[in-house]
Amino acid sequence: MQAGAGSGAWHNTSCCIACCRVTAVNEDSIDLELKDATKQSLPFGTCIWAAGVGMHPLVAGLKEKLPAELQTSRRGLLVDEHLRVVGSQGTIYCLGDAAVTGATPQTALPPTAQVARQEGEYLAALFSKNKLALVEPSSDGSEEEEAADADLVPLPKRAKPFRYFHLGSLAYLGSHRGVMDLPFKTPFLKTLRGYLGAQTWRFLETYMQDRTAVMEPEAPPAPTLPAEGPTAARKTRVVVLGSGWGAVSFIKNLDPAAFGEGGGYELVLVSPRNYMLFTPLLPSAVGGVVSENSIVESIRTLMQGKGTYYEARASDIDPEKRVLTCKKEFCEVCAARKSQGGSLASHDHSEEEHTFQLSYDILLCSVGAVNATFGIKGVQDHCFFLKSMEDAQQLRRHISKALEHAALPDVTPENRRKLLSFVVVGGGPTGVEVAAELYDLVKEDVARKFPSIAEDVGITLIDGMDSLLNSYHTEIQSYAGETFRHNGIHLRLGTRVTEVREGEVLVEHKDGGRDSVPFGTCVWATGIAMHPLVALLKERLPADVQTSRRGLLVDQHLRVRGSQGTIYCLGDAAVTGDSPATALPPTAQVARQEGQYLAALLSKQRLALVEPAAAGEAATGAQAAGEGGELVPLPRATKPFGYMHLGSLAYLGDSKGAMDLPIKTPFLKTLRGYLGAQAWRTLETLLQVSPRTRWLVAHDWVRASVFGRNLSDI
């Protein structure tokens, strides 16, 4: 519910209780007093307080220091007709919600964006047209002939006062309806309402943006309810863990008929993240080229009509009973305690209330992997990672803060260079692309928007190998090294990190020499390690078949070895070969093809659980696969998974990229330079998971090249 209550006045609330006053807000209800003095309590799950504005503490502090007889408003700082704060001798101007333009609420302008914008425009013109300067108090006054008496920054007498021009008011009311209070009222038309009002609102809100296009809000997805009851019981319950590349590829490619109401399967997806993240563009999100919203797609949109989604994290798997323990991502009691600064440990909310159990017939495990730190001291404490959207947001904001901090006037040159030292550890595709995006950011935007500090920025890339992009063709490895050196990115190859301390990375060279690299920002991108849930599941499976230290060993149909055909694994969590040389690499391309394969496998034939007693029989029957005793047998003719490598791409900065072509000819093995960058950009756009994100990403490339990057720390 939404409540608006200002100055004790009677207000309408957006629920059906009209003309009431809020007297108290409790943990889960609001106390109301109606006009006839009766009292009511209104329960809520979420309460949004939008009851107007109060004075900013800084404004209140400043007001205290000005003559009390002049500053009499309780709403903000009283200003004169030129927006100068009354009593500040012309040295302080105030605009927007902090300013009060009239002595009474009736004469003061309202606290709106429209007023603030016009005030800003007025002051810009005032300052641009007149050279305003401080006149020392001791001055004889000859210079300020035209000025007001006691002003320290006099204004010419001809300076026009601020005039507000009301352009009308708009509000969106939902359901494609809106209202507009027109600035010019005629006897026939005073307001615009309904659909026309909403379209006017939408058009004006888009038009008024500063360089940023506003996308039409996405329609809320229709709720999908879990299939329950007798029909559901006969269906094979497929539970998918994860909402990343592998899981989403499976969902997108499955046959809705097989998973729909009349199909043989019931689908449940469990993931703590309710969106799919397009990881290859995370470095570009850090650089502010693509916006974060452009590379995520809601999992509910992708699941629509296919099954049920639960926002939770699987914390345990019992492969024998085929039961998952899931931990809820959100608990309203804990959230409330946390927001009140309370300790979560002390409250009476039991662990069971945070978890629920979910049974499955077939489990698809696509939980990915975690960052590898190799147990190196200090990495967790002092480095940024780049695996999730939260990581990208944190890093982008940190970079913005570092730039702003370095640009402050009291920072010493030495400190500034340290603040602007960016160290990237890891010369694989992620590390290389982070360094490339940082380079572009500095060259194209920092140079223009922070000209005084751009020269002090340094980018260093550290890797234990002797070249960058080791999994790529050797031509690309040398090209990447040359491009980076040419761009002034400092390469420390053949160098191993031994420890990370606050502001410095300790390294050891191949020849045994040791030294340290100072940093203001260190990004750790050295690959992946086994997910804790995968490690836990591995423990519960026969140790003689699960021998990999990287993930879950799967057979040629992606079934987890030792799980009797009840668990499939795909993506970074799966290990497809017995040795690192034969296993497929942990890439989105592999996860995507595995998801496609499993979607076809389950859609084309109805797999079902055979109770343990019948499993032996099934193993000898026509339905059973090669391995005996399977609980979910596969038809004999089922084709194994086959991976087709479609090439590898990397962006190297400065509009240069490289593509390792899937089909190599004696004349052309790779695409490099400008063509490589264009191939990378085109493919990253086309490969987006939905038309919405494809559109947004394409739009972002154009936006960034025309208007520059997002350097704000929001």
Footprint of ligand FAD (CB under 6 A): 241-247, 270-273, 279-280, 282-283, 313-314, 366-368, 386-387, 429-430, 533, 571-573, 586-589, 591
Other CB atoms within a 10 A radius of the CB of residue 251 amount to: 25
Q: Which is nearer to ligand FAD, 95 or 591 (CB)?
A: 591
Q: Which is nearer to ligand FAD, 85 or 269 (CB)?
A: 269
Q: Which is nearer to ligand FAD, 270 or 679 (CB)?
A: 270
Q: Which is nearer to ligand FAD, 392 or 704 (CB)?
A: 392
Q: Concatenate the DSSP letters of all residues of 246-306 into one string.
A: HHHHHHHHS-HHHHSTTSSEEEEEEES-SEEE-GGGHHHHHTTSS-GGGGEEEHHHHHTTT
Cβ of residue 684: shortest distance to ligand FAD, in angstroms? 8
Distance of CA 313 to the CA centre of its chain: 19
Indicate the SS3 state at residue 408: coil
Q: Which is nearer to ligand FAD, 618 or 677 (CB)?
A: 677
Q: Which of 631, 606, 629 is nearest to 616 (CA)?
A: 629
Q: Which is nearer to ligand FAD, 367 or 476 (CB)?
A: 367
Q: Which is nearer to ligand FAD, 178 or 571 (CB)?
A: 571
Distances (CA, A) of 495 to 175, 473, 624, 683: 60, 22, 52, 33
What is the 3-state secondary structure of 454-476?
Answer: HHHCEEEEEECCCCCCCCCCHHH
Q: Which is nearer to ligand FAD, 311 or 713 (CB)?
A: 311
Q: Which is nearer to ligand FAD, 147 or 269 (CB)?
A: 269
Residues in the chain: 714
Burial grade of 565 (CB within 10 A; 0-12, 13-18, 19 or more): buried
- Between helices 474-486 and 429-440, what is the axis angle to 10°? 30
Give CA–CA dist 373/559, Å, rounded: 29
Q: Which is nearer to ligand FAD, 462 or 591 (CB)?
A: 591
Long-range (24+ apart) CB contacts under 8 A made by 657-663 are 657/681, 658/469, 658/472, 658/476, 658/479, 658/480, 660/472, 660/473, 660/476
The maximal CA–CA distance of the chain, rounded, in angstroms, is 110
Distance of CA 129 to the CA centre of its chain: 43
Q: What is the DSSP letter of 111?
A: S
Distance of CA 45 to the CA centre of its chain: 25
List all residues 6 or more positions away from 597 whose beta carbon is below 8 Å from its beta carbon: 558, 641
Distances (CA, A) of 645 to 324, 559, 649, 694: 34, 21, 12, 23
Cβ of residue 572: shortest distance to ligand FAD, in angstroms? 4
Q: Which is nearer to ligand FAD, 197 or 426 (CB)?
A: 426
Cβ of residue 638: shortest distance to ligand FAD, in angstroms? 22
Cβ of residue 14: shortest distance to ligand FAD, in angstroms? 34
Cβ of residue 458: shortest distance to ligand FAD, in angstroms? 22
Indicate the SS3 state at residue 599: helix
Tally of CA atoms within 13 A in the half-sphere of 188 that contains its CB: 0
Give CA–CA dist 101/108, Å, rounded: 5
Q: Which is nearer to ligand FAD, 273 or 699 (CB)?
A: 273
Cβ of residue 419: shortest distance to ligand FAD, in angstroms? 24
Q: Which one-letter amino acid corresponds to residue 126?
A: L
Left (φ > 0), alpha (ψ -120 to 50) or beta: where does 426 sit?
Answer: left
Q: Record the tokens describing residue 670, joined without a space.
A: 């790779």
Q: Which is nearer to ligand FAD, 313 or 550 (CB)?
A: 313
Cβ of residue 573: shortest distance to ligand FAD, in angstroms? 6
Cβ of residue 498: shortest distance to ligand FAD, in angstroms? 24
Tokens 């209800």, residue located:
29
Q: Which is nearer to ligand FAD, 530 or 573 (CB)?
A: 573
